[in-house]
Amino acid sequence: MRNASLFDLSGRKALVTGASRGIGRSIAEALSAAGADVAVAARKLSSLEETTAAVSAAGGAAYAIRLDVTDVEQCEAAIAEASRLLGGLDILVNNAGTEEVRPSLDVDEALWDRIVDTNLKGAFFCAKAAARQMRDAGRSGAIINLCSLTSEVGVPTAVPYGSSKSGLLGMTRALAAEWADLGIRVNAIAPGYFRTAMTDVFYSDQTWQQSMLAKIPQRRFGNLSDLHGIAVFLASDASAYITGQSIPVDGGFLASI
């Protein structure tokens, strides 16, 4: 077997949530480039037009699905729709997420619920629906959750976000142990500092940028393309004996603290 074939996703069917921009869009494009047929989901179908156009322009097949991951019924419906459109489901990337920086003493119930419901509750119910689809179809599969450096370290003013991402790491490990007998692998990617629409507020502060760069051994922030290899790896047969793991993509940040 040629080593390259281990990373080949030809014939695989993938759904990426939160794929209208940033990390989700980039991962969808990477999976498509590796051969997968891709469905992409977001709260507004119109926001997915650029993603589906980019995938189609590169020669891939892409389908857009409306999904608010805080609504359990929509999670189940979106997984079913993705399976119908794609002709099955082999890969789920739980990328949908939200964040808002706020001092902990000012966090209210509405903010807590919005962040935790999006980042953790939504990921679980999408994973549950996907696992049922895979099991009932007799397919093995790969589920990839987008964790965070806050899954491992405490960050002031990001308590709801860090709590949700720490919970997502625990969920990744527990589901990996439970679903291994179904042939379903569950892993996570933990991006370091990447500039996206959600994190752009930080990068407008030059002092913050210099402070953070000094803590990253590679002395640069992540490019979205830095996530392509790990996403394809965890979705492919190249990681067939890996489950329950969270892999940081952080330029050495966690290793150096």
- Residues with a catalytic annotation lie at 161
Residue listed under structure tokens 């549950």: 128
Distance CA 190, CA 149 (A): 6
Angle (CA) 6-8-11 rounded to 5° is 130
**Nearest-10 Cα torsion for 40, 41, 45, 46:** -60
CB 157 within 8 A of CB 101: yes
CB atoms within 10 A of CB 217: 11
3-class secondary-structure state, position 228: helix
Are 55 and 80 a contacting pair, CB within 8 Å?
A: no
Written as one letter, the residue type at 190 is: A
- Report DSSP letters for 87-149, one per residue: TS--EEEE---------GGG--HHHHHHHHIIIIIHHHHHHHHHHHHHHHTT--EEEEEE--G
